Amino acid sequence: MRPASSEADKLRQAVLIIIDEITMLTKDGLRCIDSLLRDLMNNDKPFGGKVIIIGGDFRQTLLVVPRGTRADVIESCIKSSPLWSKFTHLSLTTNIRCAGQTEHNMWLLNIVSGNFPEFSGLPCDSIEIPQKMVVEENLIEAIYSEYLNDMEVEQLAKSVILAPTNKKTLEMNRSIIAKLQGETHTFYSSDSIISKVQNDLQNYPPEFLLDLTSSGMPPHSLMLKKGAIVMLFRNLNPKQGLCNG
């Protein structure tokens, strides 16, 4: 970052800097932030004297060290940084999102703490899912009921089906779209290679690109119906309410 850039000016003027999901950052990344702010502020105090608030849960979103061991992860963690001791540590004690679900809260805490019973004949990290959390009937009908087409958008938006992979998510989305009444509208992406290397244009034809569904991107063929709920991956037009989330 250039000292005379507009980005540098924003950091100098910032009264407070908040970094969420800090647990995904390596100690080297934290050191770079510290070094940058010291240089920009011409101040040798930690983070250039700026007030920094960080948040995250080491039991949920820990950093990833490619092909690294558990020891490598611990070594790269910000807790191994000398800057860690400069922070005042505050712990949240009440799960507001799951308020009133004491049994469920304790089950989650036991899992993240590794306090769950072992089962003979199964891997040591096997977890038993409570029977009341298991859906044996059609998942879509169990979540949205058989009255999918009669529910208001506000009602539908209160429930969501999560899947472990993009492929499963796409399959579920298409199944729900098929159950909705009305005409299907299909939207196609426009993909092309931008490269000065002629071989790239030959090795990656449009047909190949259309088969790819990158993380954070919609599929090449997006099927929608009137009334379908759409989540945007990025801010398109905040003034019109077209925002991520």
Apex 42 CA angle, 38 and 46, nearest 5 = 30
User: Count of CB atoms within 10 A of residue 198's CB?
Assistant: 8
pLDDT, one tens digit per residue, over 179-204 is 888 899 988 877 777 776 767 667 77
Helices 27-41, 6-13: inter-axial angle, 10-degree rounding: 90
Q: Which residues contact 209 (CB under 8 A, 6 or more apart)?
A: 191, 192, 193, 220
Domain ranges, ordered by start, for the chain: 6-86, 137-240
Question: Can you tell me the distance from the alpha carbon of 59 to that of 174, in angstroms, rounded to the nearest whole number?
Answer: 33
pLDDT, one tens digit per residue, over 155-176 is 777 788 888 888 888 888 888 8
Residue 65: per-residue pLDDT = 92
Written as one letter, the residue type at 137 is E
Q: Exposure string (b/e) for 87-120, b if CB count within 10 Å is 16 or more?
A: eeeeeeeeeeeeeeeeeeeebeeeeeeeeeeeee
Residues of the chain where predicted confidence (pLDDT) is lower than 70: 146, 196, 198, 200-201, 216, 245
- Residue 53 near residue 18, CB atoms below 8 Å: yes
Residue 245: per-residue pLDDT = 66
Question: Can you tell me the distance from the alpha carbon of 131 to that of 133, in angstroms, rounded to the nearest whole number?
Answer: 5
Closest CA to 93 of 113, 77, 109, 111: 109
Token couple for 17? 């800097």
Predicted TM-score (pTM) of the model is: 0.60
How is the chain split among helix, strand and coil, in percent rounded to 5?
40, 10, 50
Closest CA to 179 of 164, 165, 163, 161: 161
Bridge-based pairing state of the strands 221-224 and 185-188: antiparallel
